[in-house]
C-alpha cells in the first residue's frame, strides 16, 4: 500500500510508492561513465588553462598557479553570477530585478583525475571540507552576499560537465526560496516546541535506529523519514550547530570520515551512481538562521521527475527509507 509521509521541516509531503517498489539491484544500470578522455583543465600541470587560483592547499615550496597543489579553488570560467558590480535593485511596474552579482567558484578536490570522493583518503576529504570553510569565511565579509551554497555534482545525470573531481560554491545576493522554506519550518517548530527540529529528528532517528546508516563521535548519517529520492542520505552534526562555518578541525576529520564512508557505501551498493550533495547552512546575515541546524544532503540520481512531480510538488520515491538504510548499513567498506 502506498504511504504519504510528511517532512517535519519543510512540511512537504512525499509518496512512498511501495506498489512501484524498487530494490537496490534495480538501480545498477545508473553507473557513472568515466571514459570520456580528452584534455582536462583541472589536472595537475594544466593550471594555466583555468582562471588564476583564489586559494590552494599546497606545499610551501610550490608557487601559485603551479603544479604540486592538493586542493585548488578557482573562479568558474562561465559563472552563474559575477563578483564585479553593484546590486542595483530596481523595479519595473510589478516586476523586481537586480544585477546578477555573486560569486561562483570551483573547488578542484584533488590532482588525481580518475578518483571519486568515495576513493579519497580521509585526509583528502578533510582538506576539501576545510577549504569550503575558508572560502565561506572569506566571502562572508562581502556584504552584498546573503547566502553561500556549497554543492557537488557527480556524473552527467547529476549535472557534472567535467569528470575531474570537483565541487562548487555559489554566493548569492538573496536567500534561495528552498532555504527560506526550510528556515520557516525550523522557526515554526522552535516557536511551538522551543527545540530545534533537526535536533529532535536526530534524537528520534537514534532512538529508532532503523534509518541510521553510520555514526561517529560528532556526526550521524541516516535516511530521512520522508525522502524525496531513493537512497537519499543526510549527514548532521549530533550537537546543535547552525552554521557550517563553525566546524572546527577535530569535527572536520569526523565529517570527512562519515562523508567518505557514506559515499563508498552508495558507490558499492548502487554501482557508482551519479549524485548531488548539498550543504544546507544558515544565511550569512538573516537572524532566523539561529533556528536551523547545518547538514549535508546526498541525493543519488536514480529516478526522474515527470509531469505529476512538476505539477503537484509531490515527490514519488519507490524505495522506503528503512529498506535503503538497512541495505547501506550492511555494505562492507
Active site residues: 166
Phi-psi region of 186 (alpha: psi -120 to 50; beta: other; left: phi over 0): alpha
Question: Residue 152's beta-bridge partner residues?
Answer: 277
Q: Which helix (H) or strand (E) holds 96?
A: strand 95-97
Whether residue 282 contacts residue 198, with contact meaning beta carbons closer than 8 Å, is answered with: no
Whether residue 7 contacts residue 224, with contact meaning beta carbons closer than 8 Å, is answered with: yes
The secondary structure of residue 53, as a DSSP letter, is: P
What are the cell numbers at 119? 576513493
Whole-number Cα distances in Å, 192 to 13, 179, 239, 241: 20, 20, 20, 20
d(CA 302, CA 59): 40
What are the cell numbers at 144? 552584498
Whether residue 70 contacts residue 124, with contact meaning beta carbons closer than 8 Å, is answered with: yes
Whether residue 238 contacts residue 200, with contact meaning beta carbons closer than 8 Å, is answered with: no
Q: Which helix (H) or strand (E) holds 5?
A: strand 3-6
What are the cell numbers at 325? 538504510
d(CA 332, CA 109): 25
Amino acid at each position: 500500500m502506498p504511504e504519504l509521509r510528511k517532512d517535519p521541516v519543510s512540511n512537504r509531503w512525499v509518496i512512498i510508492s511501495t506498489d512501484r517498489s524498487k530494490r537496490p539491484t534495480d538501480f545498477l544500470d545508473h553507473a557513472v561513465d568515466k571514459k570520456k578522455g580528452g584534455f582536462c583543465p583541472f589536472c595537475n600541470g594544466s593550471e594555466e588553462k583555468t582562471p588564476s587560483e583564489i586559494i590552494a592547499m599546497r606545499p610551501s615550496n610550490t608557487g601559485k598557479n603551479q603544479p604540486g597543489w592538493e586542493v585548488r579553488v578557482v573562479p568558474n570560467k562561465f559563472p552563474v553570477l559575477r563578483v564585479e558590480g553593484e546590486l542595483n535593485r530596481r523595479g519595473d511596474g510589478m516586476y523586481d530585478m537586480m544585477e546578477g552579482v555573486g560569486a561562483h567558484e570551483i573547488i578542484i578536490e584533488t590532482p588525481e583525475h580518475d578518483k571519486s570522493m568515495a576513493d579519497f583518503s580521509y585526509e583528502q576529504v578533510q582538506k576539501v571540507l576545510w577549504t569550503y570553510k575558508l572560502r565561506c569565511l572569506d566571502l562572508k565579509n562581502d556584504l552584498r552576499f546573503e547566502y553561500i551554497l556549497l554543492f557537488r555534482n557527480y556524473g552527467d545525470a547529476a549535472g557534472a560537465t567535467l569528470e575531474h573531481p570537483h565541487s562548487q560554491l555559489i554566493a548569492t545576493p538573496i536567500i534561495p526560496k528552498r532555504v527560506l522554506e526550510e528556515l520557516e519550518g525550523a522557526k515554526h517548530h522552535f516557536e511551538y516546541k522551543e527545540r530545534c527540529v533537526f535536533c529532535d529528528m536526530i534524537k528520534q532517528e537514534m532512538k529508532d535506529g532503523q534509518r541510521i546508516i553510520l555514526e561517529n563521535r560528532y556526526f550521524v548519517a541516516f535516511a530521512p523519514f520522508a525522502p524525496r529520492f531513493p537512497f537519499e542520505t543526510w549527514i548532521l552534526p549530533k550537537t546543535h550547530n547552525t552554521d557550517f562555518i563553525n566546524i572546527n578541525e577535530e569535527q572536520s576529520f569526523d565529517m570527512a570520515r562519515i562523508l567518505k564512508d557514506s559515499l563508498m557505501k552508495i558507490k558499492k551498493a548502487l554501482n557508482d551512481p551519479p549524485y548531488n550533495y548539498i550543504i544546507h547552512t544558515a544565511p550569512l546575515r538573516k537572524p532566523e538562521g539561529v533556528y536551523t541546524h547545518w547538514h549535508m544532503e546526498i541525493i543519488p540520481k536514480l529516478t526522474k521527475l515527470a509531469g505529476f512531480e512538476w505539477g503537484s510538488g509531490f515527490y514519488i520515491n519507490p524505495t522506503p527509507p528503512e529498506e535503503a538504510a538497512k541495505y547501506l548499513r550492511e555494505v562492507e567498506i
